[in-house]
């Protein structure tokens, strides 16, 4: 399956830049939820409603980036952080 992806895609994947792009999109999404949506729509979900989910996603992306770039010790750290964020979200749902 050699040649299926352009070289630049493979380079972006191996270097972690593709994950960096995804992280930038998550930051923009958080800004939209926290600031812009309130101004545009007049309301926004409370930060506590989406922050644990966002943090879990960021941690999973950072684990992927660590795996792609060979920083294997960090994979465990970021997966543990994602798990903790998921537990926080679950606890919030169970309290309702």
Q: Which residue has the tokens 């537990």?
A: 87
Q: What is the pLDDT of residue 1?
A: 53
User: Mean of the pLDDT values across residues 41-63?
Assistant: 87
Say whether pLDDT at 62 is over 60: yes
How far is 53 from 72, CA to CA, in rounded Å? Answer: 24
Residue 40: per-residue pLDDT: 74
The token pair at 15 is: 């270097």
**pTM of the predicted model as reported, rounded to 2 decimal places:** 0.83
Q: How far apart are CA 78 and CA 22, in angstroms?
A: 16
């Amino acid at each position: 399956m050699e040649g299926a992806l352009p070289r630049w895609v493979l380079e972006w994947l191996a270097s972690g830049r593709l994950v960096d792009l995804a992280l930038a999109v998550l930051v923009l999404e958080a800004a939209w939820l926290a600031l812009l949506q309130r101004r545009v729509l007049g309301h926004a979900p409370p930060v506590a409603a989406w922050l644990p989910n966002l943090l879990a996603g960021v941690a999973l992306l950072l684990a992927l980036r660590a795996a792609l770039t060979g920083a294997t010790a960090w994979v465990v750290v970021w997966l543990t952080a994602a798990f903790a964020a998921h537990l926080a979200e679950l606890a919030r749902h169970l309290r309702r």
